[in-house]
Chain A
Amino acid sequence: MDVTLLLNALIAGLLLGGFYAAVTVGISIAFGILDIVNIAHPGFIILGAYIAYIVNQTFGVDPILIAVVVLPAFYALGALTYQVYYLSFEKYGQEALRGLAFFFGLLFVTEVALILAFGVDYRYVQADYIDRVFRFGQFAIPMRMLIPCVLSLLMVGLLHLYLSRTFTGRAIMAVSQDQTALRLMAVDPVRIKRIAFAIAIGTAALAGACLIIIQPIEPSVGREFIGRVFAICVLGGLQSLPGTVIAALSLGIIESLTTTYAGPSWAPAVAFGVLLLTLALRPAGLLGR
């Protein structure tokens, strides 16, 4: 076996896995902590990617900067989505069937609306670092993978600090454990959940910008991420952000090895295999309690 090929595949997998962490962290918060099965999350990510694309094409602004600017808008969108979800489904205990159908509808409507607006052509952004590659001897580290990976890990790290150190962050962790106790502490669980869900959707803005830096996108790319994000989230043990990062890096490496040794057309099946194996063998995930 060629060692250089293997090492290059491992590096590519690690970089890819770092990016997967950013894609998944929104699901880890919404699904893992708040128990909201937000399957529309990839739809929000694609929306973020398209916003980055439009502004980048029109004004030539850096996609990362665009993501930071639209972050508050995504936060507001998340708060609004949660409010609708809470008032229509969660309040009446209807989230199992109707709530799921609601998010599925959202995912689908986003995708079809983007197809109607932009067609199914692949879109990409321009920035001067995208084509650059670091070379160490025989190993190559493309900048278009490195920057999203570093940014993603930074974002997940900051979120982890926020959730474990600040009052609101701890309240978010508490809302998943005992809502009544939270009420006794004079904290409104609905408000806390709204904030947490809004943060989760906010991460989609940055994940979307990272996505379009890494690869050209079209509206239905998001679907491939559904299996991936839930596989990572479950493998990581649902509630734990460090678990999410470890699971994301593992899945990135497994996918990269599959792409290198079996061909890229097999990569989408990896996530599902991981998801099914995890659910069958260890539903609590790697770092689950």
Chain B
Amino acid sequence: MYDKTVRRRRAVLALLVVLSLILLTAYFGEAPGGRLHSVQRGFLTVVSPIQDGANKALKPVRDLVGWFGDTLHAKSQRNQLVKQVDKLRREVIAEEAEKHAYRELLGLYHLDNRLSVSDYHPVTATVVAKSPNIWYSTVTIDKGEAAGVRVNDPVINGEGLVGKVAQVASIGAQVSLITDSSVGVSARIGTSNATGIVQPKVGDPNDLLLQYLPANTQANRGEYVVTSGTVSSPDDSLYPPGIPIGEVTSVNEESAYRSVNVHPLANLHNLDVVQVLTAARGSLPANLSRVAASLPPGQSAGASTAGEQLAATGSGG
């Protein structure tokens, strides 16, 4: 009985294995149009409607299971997209910063061409620090003695005069802005020959005052105030003539001298790239500056003829 059962079991197994191998061999060996392939296609034709029906009937189940999978997939996708957005945002910020710097450099380039400041050996520097108080009267730049920057060198940007170098280190310098009380710039209004001194307005550090103008000076609101190219004191630097400083906002009628309120053209709250006019030793502006500094104090005031002569010489006549 046991032997019979064992024999039958083994026979069934052998039969099924052999049948499988025959099927396999026959199917593998025949052409796609063969009988077994036809049987398979026929079976598919019969089963297809059942499969289709089962598919439709089980669609809600599939959708439910798929919903969980899709949710998990969507979550991972969302995390990926958040990372991608962060990356793109950083790229956009970097691009905007580059564009901003490019615009500033372009402005400087145009100003250089307009004013012919190439004789002053302009050194382009980046503002690396701003004074944290509300006055914004000093900024720190990333170029110093190593780049030829010296104390009192004028500093400009694409909009106009920014200030002058106050202190110099080897690889950096501190710039006093024109709104700083220590800065005084010889300036004139438009095409007028009358010169005065631009200084910060007392009580309003964001505004400037052009003082010591002759009483008969004609000044109108909206006129531009530019550097005159003269020095106002022996310690001052020689600013190239014609650099825009600001715009006349109002005229003050005073007794002996006339003064006008000037709003700076340069946006001193948003400085990124500036140029330091280093005026290398031996150059014409440097020599003129040295001559001006050696003049007696009485002759170097804003209205001095010596300063005006220097201005005329410095600007090339």
Q: Do A and B bind each other?
A: no
Taking Cβ atoms with an 8 Å cutoff, the residues of A that contact B are: none
